[in-house]
Structure 1
Amino acid sequence: MYMVKTAYMLIAPVLVVGTLAIACSTDEASDQDDVDSSQVTSSYEGSSTDGSTSAAGSTSPQEPATGEKPAVPSPDLNKGGGGRETLDERAQQYLVRGQRAFQQGNYERAVAYLDSAEQVEPRTSVVPFNRGRILMAVNQDRGAQRAFEKALHRDRNYPDAREQLGDLERQRGNNEAAIDYYRGEEQVDPTPSLYVDMGTVYDRLGKADSARAAYERAIALDSSNAEAHMMYGQFLEKTGNLKEALEHSRKALSLEPDRPNYQFAVGSQLYQLGQLKEAVPHLKKAADARLLHYPAQHNLGQVLMRLGREEEAERYMARADSSRALMDTITSAQSVATRNPKSVDAWIRLGKLFRRAD
């Protein structure tokens, strides 16, 4: 009997920076080029990656689960603030420089610039908010929580701060606390991404009707939001509504056709619906995109076997076994590195393993 892989393990762990030390001053980090203060935004912008959106399947859709390896740095800091604060020009320049440092992965320098901005504007909310985003990027969750709470203390309606606190609680498995934060954010800044988050947590809490309503609200706010369609498709697949799930997965793929996870979602749902030939090209694109995309390789092998293409099937099943073994090795290496954050050798080994997987 052949089985489709729809419950997925964590395939690509995020590379964790063990300790964030404020090691440079703004004098040491100073940029000499002119800064256009109009570039400043109320939250730092990082480069989003394919790993930031979850894979298809019935596991938690917020977890990167099917082999799209996040880049480092990989946080998505495109939200928040909304430009609601008017800042001194010097503070704006520090924020612009900090944003550049953040985008380059230099978190220490980014925090140093934030500190300088806060010296100029000691009551602003944008500084602690962005400090929280940086601390989240390096897995310093307690510090991030304090920073977001500080932003709200200074401005109780600061957009996105409650959503970030909800994200932290969700990561800890505190789903009731997460939904409380999300409901608070809903009163301040209801966005598609917020409703996707709410749908995810309601699903975890077993509140299917609330989850469905949240996903539909996200799509109603922005029908071109690929993530909302994809995550709703995952929810529908989990609840057994495969045909409706496939419609939303295909919509997500049409909006972002280069996403391996989206190819995988469509291919796996076609497989479950018995449309084997149609599933092959989608699963193949996902399987060939990443060595660590174990579920795609496994499912493709199963589909090809059922189609009588045994030689191809055996090749992808062998790749699935190899990717599973490499994933286990990476997981072990990451555990060693995070337990020994000052061990250069441990981090080098982990980096080499990720390069093998790319």
Structure 2
Amino acid sequence: MSSVEGFRTAVRDWLRDRLDGEFAALRGCGGPGREHEAFDERLTWERHMAAHGWTCLGWPEEYGGRGASIEEQVAFHEEYALADAPARVNHIGEQLLGPTLIAHGTAEQKARFLPPIRSVTELWCQGYSEPGAGSDLAGVRTRAALDGDTWVLNGRKTWTSLAHVSQWCFVLARTGPGSRGHAGLSYLLVPMDQPGVEVRPITQLTGTSEFNEVLFDGARTHSSHVVGAPGDGWRMAMATLGFERGVSTLGHQVGFRRELEALITLARRNGALGDPLIRDRLVRAWSGLEALRAGALRGTDPSAAKLSWSHWHRDLGELAMVVCGAAATVTGAPRALDRWQRLFLFSRADTVYAGSSEIQRNIIAERVLGLPKEPRP
């Protein structure tokens, strides 16, 4: 047995034992559009995973991880999906901020922030997008100024996932007076539980509120809580986006595979699988997911990976409506969406958040293919 297969077997056995016991009721809970489901119980579950060494698998061992290879991480996520384990609550800290700190943080920052991420005792959110500065982060207007040994923040962030349950936020803010574009930005680590931070939930088409608006009005954080040098925020932000669009998509694929398998089961049960056109689309969805897996294994360009998975998932939502047929157009009560209606509505956002498809295509054209930059107005 190879080391990867041995690792896979260990994951499978551990998940089976735990999810057939005290955590059995959490099978299938949570995920995009459903983050409200059993959140406290899923938090307990993830802390249980941490206590047994199943969080931060790809982190180096010196920071509490397992130093797992890409192949081992893929094996973990696949077994996690097959076990119908609950959706994770610590993705932003574990997969985005943690790797950024490991690569660019100071020794003090690593010692302070990595252990609580690994143990799932502090949750994080991402303060990038703003009204008028979504995919175009160079337009950020939130400002921070030094007041002695403290950064003072003023501004507004939007589409901030899970801000309402997070203790910390990594914020891209403009610290260079009079600066514009990529220059003069800093990457700050900001506590959420303080005067001057207001979180306003945004109600989505699904009726849920994973996303939030966050207002900073004199919020403060220590001067040492800047990752990289002041003014180096653009480079730090791009590093985080590289992790968000790259290896961390393995976590997305947990839910994708679960959704596709459930949709195939539904098509078999309601007879939709007998339609050759629907059967062909389901086969294409399966092959597309296998391509995403292969891309994760070989380290596909982050922008290409984000473009691929977001369109795959949006298309799956559309296919779900076809498989469901006329029943997909009605609900039993206002906002009483079933899982397929929720998937269709929520997945419309996939091609927009974390960098719109238009932005990803420009990045691929300019940075990968070497084409001329798009003219600026």
**Alignment TM-score > 0.5, same fold:** no
- Which structure: greater helix fraction? 1
TM-score of the pair, normalised by structure 2? 0.24
- Higher relative CO (CA 8 A, sep ≥ 6), structure 1 or 2? 1
- Which structure: greater strand fraction? 2
